[in-house]
Amino acid sequence: FFILAATEFILVKENINMGKTNQSSVTEFVLLGLSGYPEVEAIYFVLVLCMYLVILLGNGVIIIVSVCDTHLHTPMYFFLSNLSFLDICYTSSSIPLFLSSFLTSKKTISFSGCGVQMFLSFAMGATECVLLSMMAFDRYVAICNPLRYSIIMSRTSYVPMAAGSWIAGGVNSMLQTSLAMRLPFCGDNVINHFTCEILAVLKLACADISINIISMAIANIIFLVVPVLFIFVSYVFILSTILKIPSAEGKRKAFSTCSAHLTVVIIFYGTILFMYAKPKAKDSSGADKVQVTDKIISLFYGVSLRNKDVKEAMKNVLCQKCSSERM
């Protein structure tokens, strides 16, 4: 990710040196979105709206069920509830504005609104990275040290762990956003994206952004590389322990306890790799071209999570409600 950040820095520096001399103050940004694809706007509007409703419903169900079913009052589902809330916050920071742009002629976002959107997306992303590493530790203790699980992962432990993840993500986001929004911006205020994605915004700056790139590279190491390494090492120990279990049924149950976490990890980091590690297309002028699929995927990096325990818990809640109504 440091290499990716350095690459973006070179691209941004090239844009700055191409003659951005107009120092007029920018009070708002134009979000290009699907302006170049008017023939498919209606289709994408319906698609995005449906996906947004699914995310709200799916993650809302997970939060409600995790609270209502006492069987799910465990560290893993507490972390999953936090992730579901993160998904709702992340998508709600951008999707409503994106949908409203279809219904009105307004395609702009204020300077302060752009900063708020950038802050929320950064905070949610960094917090999720830390939470995923906390969940990996939870699975490590559950499988590798089950006799001490209730002591190590007590409520006095996992609640501060989640709170620390939110605080760390918020502090990092505040730093990155403040560094970006203090920059002067020239007359070019068109962002080729649905949201105020920070790299797209930095390309419009009329000043040296080396500090921004360095701080982002450091943040990437802390919030992306370190958690990934921590998760990897945790699962090396987990896999080693599972393989020592003599029965096939025992191995299956052990693997199933990690399924929810592994699903989140694969979706989250898979989306990041798809978005930033694949080669970028070039337009006729040689500039980077952001594909429509990239834009859509960036809006929905978080998807609703479902597994057997949550489905079973939902049935229990509904059954309890039906029983109380009959009485």
Cβ-based burial of 237 (10 A; exposed 0-12, middle 13-18, buried ≥19): middle
pLDDT value for 16: 45
Which helix (DSSP H) or strand (DSSP E) does residue 212 occupy?
helix 210-220
At 106 the pLDDT is: 67
Strands 288-289 and 190-191, by their bridges, are unpaired
The counts of H helices and E strands in the chain are 14, 5
Q: Say what the pLDDT of residue 173 is.
A: 92
The Cα-based distances of 286 to 252, 289, 290 in angstroms read 51, 9, 12
132, 232 contact by CB (below 8 A): no
β-strands 288-289, 108-110 pairing: unpaired
Spatial separation of the C-alpha atoms in residues 124 and 166, rounded to whole Å: 8
From first to last of its 327 residues, the chain has per-residue pLDDT tens of 444 444 444 444 444 444 444 444 677 888 776 665 666 677 778 888 888 888 888 888 888 888 888 888 889 889 988 988 988 888 888 888 878 877 776 678 888 888 888 898 889 889 989 999 999 999 999 999 989 999 999 999 999 999 999 999 999 999 999 999 888 887 778 887 777 888 888 888 888 888 999 999 999 899 989 999 999 999 999 989 988 888 888 888 888 878 777 877 887 777 776 665 555 555 544 444 555 555 555 555 544 444 555 555 556 655 655 555 555
Bridge partner list, 325: none
d(CA 109, CA 189): 10
Determine the pLDDT at residue 4: 44
Strand, coil or helix: 31: strand
The reported pLDDT for the residue numbered 208 is 86
